[in-house]
């Protein structure tokens, strides 16, 4: 499934994306990579062509001899049943991968920003629902980030470098972010040289983060955190745990004396700055929408691709 879009560069030239016929071909190639059209209802290959859609002439229709039913290139996909041409949807996804705002996408596609907002919401949601579960092992860092995000309808939610003062945070004192305080915490786990998992939480308590850690990180993994007390149960839970003492001004420590300062959470900190600049563009993300933005960025980051290669991964996830 990967190979067609991955290797045939001509399939994802930006010029092709403004070609409606080519967009339909891309969808067909992803849905039916061996070129054999399958019925989306019964999976039969006993399918004949049935002309094309009256209004969208590149949209092929089919008849399944087994169900028997009628379907087309977009039946049961995220792109079915929309007024916008397929190329607008695919271009929209391409621009989302480049992190354009709804307003910028609207300008590029000549669409009202409310229309774009509906499209990006649906695409983002589609990616987040389908993204594969991530498992982490090797060396993994945990950290939390606090962002400012209000409730739906309140436009005050511009992202700030929201991490509260370390001293309070480390004592677990009030002043840490919670959902109610409109400072939702984002919990992050990143494998060095590997993938990341981020999730918005109601609060940062041991009972909130431990199930998430255990569902994501393979037992026996070496984990690094700062000395915040929520991480105390990690050793009992079967992880090798080392902490960096930020409160003592320490940012990395060479514990085993081999010249590498391996005890740090700098990978996670680096990821947070990428996340902050990604989100900064989207002004006023509410708490209700933040998880979807986070999930989308998590997928983009883990795909480790940009531009049209990223688009290929996004389309593949949506269509296969
Ligand atoms: Zn069928």
Q: What is the pLDDT of residues 256-267, one digit of tens each?
A: 777 777 888 999
What residues contact residue 207 under an 8 Å CB cut-off, 6+ apart?
none
Flag whether 263 is in a domain.
yes
CA distance 292 to 289: 6
Domain interval for residue 220: 139-147+184-281
Distance 33 CA to ligand 1 centre (A): 18
Is the pLDDT reported for residue 6 higher than 60? Answer: no
Q: What is the whole-number distance in angstroms between the Cα of residue 99 and the centre of ligand 1?
A: 39
Ligand 1 center from residue 250 Cα (angstroms): 63
Q: Quick one: which of 305, 311, 303 has its CA closest to 132?
A: 303
What is the reported pTM?
A: 0.85
Report the domain count for the chain: 1
Question: What distance in angstroms lies between residue 88's CA and the mean position of ligand 1's atoms?
Answer: 29
Report pLDDT for 181.
Answer: 67
**Model confidence at 182: pLDDT above 80:** no
**17-21, 40-44, 104-108, 224-228, range with the lowest pLDDT:** 17-21
What pLDDT was estimated at residue 179?
Answer: 65
Neighbours of 58 (CB within 10 A): 18
pLDDT-wise least confident of 34-43, 245-254, 283-292, 293-302: 245-254
Dist. CA 1 → ligand 1 center (Å)? 22
In a domain, 254, yes or no: yes
pLDDT at 283: 80
Q: Which residues surround ligand 1, an ion (CB under 5 A)?
A: 39, 41-42, 44, 64, 66-67
Q: pLDDT tens-digit profile of 215-265?
A: 999 999 999 998 889 999 999 999 999 998 777 777 777 777 777 778 889
CATH number at residue 226: 3.30.420.10
143 lies in a domain? Answer: yes
d(CA 67, ligand 1 centre) in Å: 4
Q: How far is the CA of 73 from the centre of ligand 1 (A)?
A: 14
pLDDT per residue over 116-152, tens digit each?
Answer: 999 999 999 999 999 999 999 999 999 999 988 877 7
Q: How far is the CA of 70 from the centre of ligand 1 (A)?
A: 8
The reply to whether 67 falls in a domain is no
Of the chain, the percentage scoring pLDDT greater than 70 comes to: 86
Asked whether 128 and 210 are in contact (CB, 8 A), the reply is no
């Amino acid at each position: 499934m990967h190979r067609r879009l991955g290797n045939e560069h001509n399939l994802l030239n930006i010029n092709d994306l403004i070609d409606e016929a080519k967009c339909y071909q891309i969808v067909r190639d992803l849905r039916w990579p061996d070129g054999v059209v399958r019925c989306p209802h019964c999976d039969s290959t006993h399918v004949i062509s049935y002309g094309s859609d009256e209004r969208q002439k590149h949209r092929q229709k089919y008849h399944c001899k087994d169900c028997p039913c009628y379907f087309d290139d977009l039946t049961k996909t995220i792109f079915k049943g929309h007024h916008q041409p397929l190329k607008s949807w695919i271009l929209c996804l391409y621009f989302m991968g480049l992190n354009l705002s709804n307003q910028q996408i609207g300008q590029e596609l000549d669409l009202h920003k409310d229309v774009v907002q509906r499209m990006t919401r649906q695409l983002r949601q589609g990616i987040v629902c389908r993204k594969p579960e991530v498992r982490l092992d090797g060396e993994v860092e945990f950290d939390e980030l606090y962002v400012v995000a209000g409730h739906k309808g309140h436009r005050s939610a511009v992202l700030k470098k929201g991490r509260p003062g370390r001293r309070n945070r480390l004592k677990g004192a009030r002043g840490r972010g919670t959902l109610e305080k409109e400072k939702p915490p984002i919990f992050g786990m990143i494998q060095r040289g590997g993938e990341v998992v981020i999730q918005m939480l109601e609060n940062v308590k041991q009972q909130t983060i431990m199930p998430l850690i255990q569902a994501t990180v393979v037992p026996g993994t070496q984990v690094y955190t700062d000395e915040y007390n929520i991480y105390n149960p990690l050793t009992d839970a079967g992880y090798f745990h080392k902490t960096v003492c930020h409160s003592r001004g320490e940012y990395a420590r060479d514990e085993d004396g081999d010249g590498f300062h391996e005890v740090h959470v700098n990978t996670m900190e680096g990821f947070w700055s990428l996340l902050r600049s990604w989100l900064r563009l989207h002004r006023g993300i509410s708490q209700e929408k933040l998880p979807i933005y986070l999930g989308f960025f998590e997928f983009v980051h883990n795909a480790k691709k940009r531009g049209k290669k990223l688009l290929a991964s996004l389309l593949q996830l949506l269509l296969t």
